[in-house]
Amino acid sequence: MRVTDLELAGLKLIELKIHQDERGFFTERFNAKAYQQNQLPTQYMQDNHSRSSPGVLRGLHFQLDPPQGKLVGVTRGRVFDVVVDIRKESPTFKQFFTIELTEDNGKLLWIPPGFAHGFYVLGTEPADVIYKVDALYNPATEQGIYWADPDLNIPWPIQGGATQPIVSKKDQHLPRFEPFFKRIN
């Protein structure tokens, strides 16, 4: 396992060692000792698994109380994964990071509390996203930011000539970044 600190403070890329042969592959997704040695959390409260159809966009989501950190990876398909720094005191506040996570590339993201997260399903197959969270889900404090906020200008790779991805009604009506953060000031 190789861990790289990314340009947004606290965000880490984890590259797993994949053992592959004609039978398939094996990888160790989580090892408490290795995570501890790399200053990654070893205590998680919940494992989540979502399956999304091609063209689906989920996010940008976060939870305020308790704030959640997420260990995110893909076990089927491909996604364009996005995180946005929403920590007002951070020097990278309002900046984003993107990466393609796939079933084959062995990459995971550690997304600490204080980031909004979303993803878009690439290709023609569904995608399974698996993520561990370090705090229990609290629907009362779940929040989000509109995925297409022009102030963030995230370069979503919308495929197939579609002008809009498949987005839930809830995500279609999330607030833009600036008004949301002015409101909770």
What residues act catalytically?
Answer: 61, 131
Strand order in the sheet with 78-85: 96-102, 78-85, 115-122, 57-63, 142-144
Q: Are 166 and 80 in contact (CB under 8 A)?
A: no
Q: In this structure, which long-range contacts are made by residues 162-170, counting pairs with CB atoms below 8 Å and at least 24 apart in sequence? A: 162/55, 165/55, 165/56, 165/57, 165/120, 166/53, 166/55, 166/56, 166/57, 167/56, 167/57, 167/58, 168/58, 170/144
Cα torsion 70, 75, 78, 84 to 10°: value is: 0
Measured in degrees and rounded to the nearest 5, phi and psi for residue 119 equal -155, 160
